[in-house]
């Protein structure tokens, strides 16, 4: 047994991805409703099928004596086509009339099944069903994995390109994916359902836009009855092309299966092409970025923040400081105001006040796991040589965050600062132990790992025994 699933990425977002969340909620609600409807439809079809089988069994058993080849009819639909033609049940009999009424009802009910009503069938091209098929899922696992991948890549693309561009890309990629599937299987009578083609489009765009972003995966497997589990990270520019190649191999079998490989391929190519076009032709920089930044400014700037910015633009920083203090008092998560105050205080030589603002901003960044914000605050404090003044709590949490992101050397440095500066801290032994593990398991430095362990044994022998 072996499982590998994506669980997140190192790239944070600047605001709640409302549309991504909305799509996940919408798909989930539709799945709940369609599942309840489907349960009733399946029960009704099962009842009709049972009644038909009661009639069919008498004639098929009787016919086997004279036509043993009937057993070779693997496709039961073909047997029923023979019954319709009168080859098995005589047409003029009462049994035939009863069976035919049941068969017509069964056929009609089957055509009204959820997947037939809303799924896209290539043999009967219907643009409306091409659209509705994107929102219908076969079962809970189908829904779960699709929504997991949507959350993984959708949040960042919505954040990068605005909800309008993101939603447009999602919907059009879903349509393109369905068309690719129809081209591969033009005569297919099997309904295509699921959002995977649309999500593949977002994955293609994510690969281009976040080529160097690391995706975190969780793994679990048994080896000689012993379970192994953990996480690892790999660049999107490597992980997503590997996934794409897997789809090509799946499609290369040249037959229709339970996985719509060609839909995935079509959606991914379309999304990657859009991402590359936006970048190559400067569309993102010229049109999308200004639109996104403008929406963020309108979203995050309160009247007082706008007043503070106006004062700063006018060169009246002294008057802006009390207004900014009001902002951080009223808007607890406004890291922009905190950072502006930190810089103003630092310029005026009020280093202690500057550090207090940086520390509050870092606390917000760590709580929201905003990677860009964490990195920029850390680099800015390091440049100003005040990183060592970060609070004990934030310094330890920073080490943990950097470790989870796979930035092991930086994590070891952060833990090291905590160990050096906060000797009375209750979590200091944990920080030493984390350094030991980092050097032992991640940085391949046995000497440093042993030094850290020896120091831990010397300073906190009771902690190790506990």
Quickly list DSSP for 359-405.
HHHHHHHHHHT-HHHHHHHHHHHHHTT-GGGS-HHHHHHHHHHHHHT
Radius of gyration of the chain (CA): 31
Q: Where are the alpha helices (DSSP H) in 88-139?
A: 94-111, 114-118, 127-132
Q: Are 107 and 164 in contact (CB under 8 A)?
A: no
Give pLDDT, residue 3: 64
Q: What angle do CA 307, 310, 312 make, to 5 degrees?
A: 110
**CA–CA distances in Å: residue 124 to residues 107, 120, 121:** 17, 8, 6
Contacts of residue 339, Cβ cutoff 8 Å, sequence gap at least 6? 357, 358, 361, 377, 380
Averaged pLDDT for residues 235-251: 93
| Closest to 194 in 3D by CA, of 215, 163, 218, 173 | 173
Each residue of 201-217: b (16+ CB within 10 Å) or e? Answer: bbbbbbbbbbeebbbbb
pLDDT at 1 over 60: no
For helices 261-280 and 236-251, give the axis angle rounded to 10 degrees: 140
Residue 287 has pLDDT above 90, yes or no: no
Phi, psi at 212, each rounded to 5°: -100, 10
Which residue stretches of 252-350 are H helix? 261-280, 283, 289-300, 303-313, 317-330, 335-347
Q: Which of 86-95, 181-190, 317-326, 448-457 has the lowest mean pLDDT?
A: 86-95
How would you label 430-451 residue by residue, b for 16+ Cβ within 10 Å and e otherwise?
Answer: bbbbbbbbbbbeebeeeebbee
Q: What is the mean pLDDT of the chain?
A: 89
Query: What pLDDT is attached to residue 149?
Result: 94
Report how far residue 350's alpha carbon sits from residue 465's, in angstroms, rounded to the nearest whole number.
45
Distance CA(290)–CA(165), nearest Å, equals: 13
- How far apart are the C-alpha atoms of 402 and 242, rounded to whole Å? 26
Q: What is the DSSP letter of 120?
A: B
DSSP code of residue 216? E
pLDDT band at 399 (very low <50, low <70, confident <90, very high): very high
- Per residue in 55-67, pLDDT (tens digit) is 888 777 666 555 6
Instruction: Tell me the C-alpha distance between 358 and 226, whole Å.
Output: 46
Q: Is the dihedral of CA 20, 23, 27, 32 positive or negative?
A: positive
What are the structural domains of the chain? 2-42+116-290 (1.20.1540.10), 301-390 (1.25.40.10), 392-466 (1.25.40.10)
Mapped onto helix, strand or coil, the DSSP state of residue 228 is strand
Can you tell me the mean pLDDT for 233-254?
90
Residue 198 · residue 177 · CB < 8 Å: yes
Q: How confident is the model at residue 333 (pLDDT cuts 50, 70, 90)?
A: confident
Per-residue confidence band for 296, with pLDDT thresholds at 50, 70 and 90: low
Task: Write down the pLDDT at residue 226.
Answer: 76
pLDDT at res. 11:
73
pLDDT confidence of residue 306 = 82
For residue 298, the model assigns a pLDDT of 56
Q: From the CB of residue 388, how many other CB atoms can be counted at a distance below 10 Å?
A: 12
- The region of weakest confidence among 40-54, 193-207, 297-311, 362-376 is 297-311
Vertex 131: Cα angle to 28 and 156 (nearest 5): 60
Strand partners, 216: 8, 233
Phi-psi region of 406 (alpha: psi -120 to 50; beta: other; left: phi over 0): left
| CA nearest neighbour of 6 among 231, 337, 329 | 231
Beta pairing partners, 221: 2, 228
Measured between alpha carbons, how far is 453 from 447 in angstroms, rounded to an integer?
A: 10
Q: How would residue 216 be classed by pLDDT, with cut points 50, 70 and 90?
A: confident
Average pLDDT of span 244-270: 87
Residue 57: predicted pLDDT: 81
pTM beyond 0.75: the answer is no
Give SS3 for 9. strand
């Amino acid at each position: 047994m072996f499982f590998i699933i994506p669980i997140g990425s190192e790239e944070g977002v600047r605001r709640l991805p409302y549309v991504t969340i909305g799509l996940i909620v919408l798909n989930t609600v539709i799945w709940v409703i369609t599942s309840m409807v489907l349960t009733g439809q399946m029960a009704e079809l099962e009842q009709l099928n049972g009644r038909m089988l009661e009639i069919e069994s008498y004639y098929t058993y009787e016919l086997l004596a004279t036509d043993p080849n009937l057993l070779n009819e693997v496709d039961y639909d073909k047997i029923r086509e023979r019954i319709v033609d009168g080859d098995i049940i005589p047409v003029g009999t009462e049994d035939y009339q009863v069976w035919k009424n049941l068969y017509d009802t069964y056929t009609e009910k089957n055509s009204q099944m959820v997947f037939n009503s809303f799924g896209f069938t290539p043999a009967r091209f219907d643009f409306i069903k091409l659209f509705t098929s994107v929102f219908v899922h076969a079962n809970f696992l189908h829904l779960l994995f699709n929504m997991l991948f949507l959350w993984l890549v959708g949040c960042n693309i919505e954040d990068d390109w605005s909800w309008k561009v993101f939603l447009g890309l999602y919907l059009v990629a879903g349509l393109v994916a369905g068309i690719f599937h129809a081209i591969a299987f033009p005569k297919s009578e099997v309904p295509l359902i699921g959002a995977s083609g649309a999500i593949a489009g977002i994955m293609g765009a994510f690969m281009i836009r976040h080529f160097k972003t690391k995706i975190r995966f969780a793994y679990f497997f048994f080896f000689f009855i012993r379970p192994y589990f953990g996480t690892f990270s790999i660049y999107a520019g490597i992980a997503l092309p590997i996934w794409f190649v897997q789809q090509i191999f799946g499609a290369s079998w040249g037959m229709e299966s339970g996985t719509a490989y060609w839909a995935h391929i079509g959606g991914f190519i379309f999304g990657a092409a859009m991402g590359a076009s936006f970048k190559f032709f400067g569309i993102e920089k010229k049109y999308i970025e200004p639109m996104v930044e403008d929406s963020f400014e309108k979203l995050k700037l309160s009247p007082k923040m706008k007043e503070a910015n106006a004062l700063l633009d006018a060169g009246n920083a002294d008057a802006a400081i009390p207004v900014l203090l009001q902002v951080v008092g009223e808007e607890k998560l406004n890291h922009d105001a905190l950072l502006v105050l930190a810089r103003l205080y630092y310029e005026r030589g009020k280093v202690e006040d500057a550090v207090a603002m940086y520390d509050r901003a870092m606390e917000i960044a760590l709580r929201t796991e905003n990677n860009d914000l964490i990195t920029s605050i850390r680099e800015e404090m390091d440049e100003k040589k005040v990183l060592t003044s970060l609070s004990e709590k934030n310094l330890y949490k920073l080490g943990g965050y950097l470790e989870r992101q796979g930035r092991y050397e930086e994590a070891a440095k952060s833990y090291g600062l905590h160990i050096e500066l906060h000797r009375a801290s209750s979590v200091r032994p944990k920080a030493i132990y984390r350094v030991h593990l980092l050097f032992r398991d991640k940085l391949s430095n046995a000497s440093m790992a042993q030094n850290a362990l020896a120091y831990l044994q010397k300073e906190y022998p009771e902690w190790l025994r506990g």
